[in-house]
Amino acid sequence: MTSKSVEDYLKALYVLSRNGKAVATTEISQYFKIAPASVTEMLKKLAEQGYVKYSPYRGSALTEKGFKVAEKVTRKHRLLERFLRDVLKIDKDMVHPQACEMEHSLSDKAAESLCRFLKHPDKCPDDEKIIPPCDLPFYSCEECMRLHSKGLEEVGKRKENLVALSALKKGQMGKIFFIRGGRNMLQRLLDMGLTPGTRISVIQAAPFEGPVEILVRGSKLALGRGIASKVFVDIESQSL
């Protein structure tokens, strides 16, 4: 079990880092509104524990271990935000700080149940950021919901680090592992060839939150950004 402050730091790195790039210490100190010196001290500690790769001048980046923790906390945070806003109708300004408090004590099992209860939401209420996927080894939420209604057995965990297709850059390739969404959209994507394990590559991504053009099974497909942010892939070797 990681401590609250560790989780907060990892989450900050997760949020501040763009495309896995290192984050400068000053950026983190501005984020928390505390002195850079204490940030540095904390980062060194995190590096010792293997959560962060820290270099004094280049900044710090999450390790795979750190990424997993950060993603999980961020997921809990954004799920809680949805819950507080949509179900409890809590004031907009209150949602974020409240979720920040609750995210650390929410167990993994409770987070899974919350996700099902909220009907697997895809974005958080304030800034439309994607809620990271869970690590249950399902291809779709449909399966999770259905299996759970029949008494969920132990299903194990997914090993891959999944990224939303919408976050992929031009030329990147990935293998589809998880699609968030209801039956209709899922069926349509399956029919177009996006079956589990299918390799896709991104040909082009339009600006202004425009669609993503992908190559799948020899055909070119345009997916709106909303749909692309519900398709999760494991990024493969980046050369193309």
Does the protein bind other proteins through residue 227 (CB under 8 A)?
yes
Least distance from other proteins to the Cβ atom of residue 185, Å: 8
If the CB atoms of residues 100 and 221 are measured against other proteins, the closer one turns out to be 221
**Per CB under 8 A, which of residues 181..210 are in contact with other proteins?**
183-193, 195-198, 203-204, 206-210
Q: What is the DSSP string of 158-210?
A: --S--EEGGGPPTT-EEEEEEE-S-HHHHHHHHHTT--TT-EEEEEEE-TTT-
Q: How far is the CB of 156 from other proteins (least distance, A)?
A: 9
Applying CB under 8 A, among 24, 108, 137, 234 the residue interacting with other proteins is: 137
Instruction: Give how far Cα 178 sits from Cα of 16, 87, 131, 136, 138, Å.
Output: 25, 26, 13, 10, 7
Judged by CB under 8 A, the residue of 18, 33, 109, 150 near other proteins is 150
Query: Binding mask 75-114 vs other proteins (x if CB under 8 A, - otherwise)?
Result: ----------------------------------------
C-alpha to C-alpha distances, 192 to 68, 95, 149, 183, 218, nearest whole angstrom: 31, 39, 29, 14, 11
User: Locate tokens 């495309």: which residue?
Assistant: 19
Q: Is 152 in the site for other proteins (CB under 8 A)?
A: no
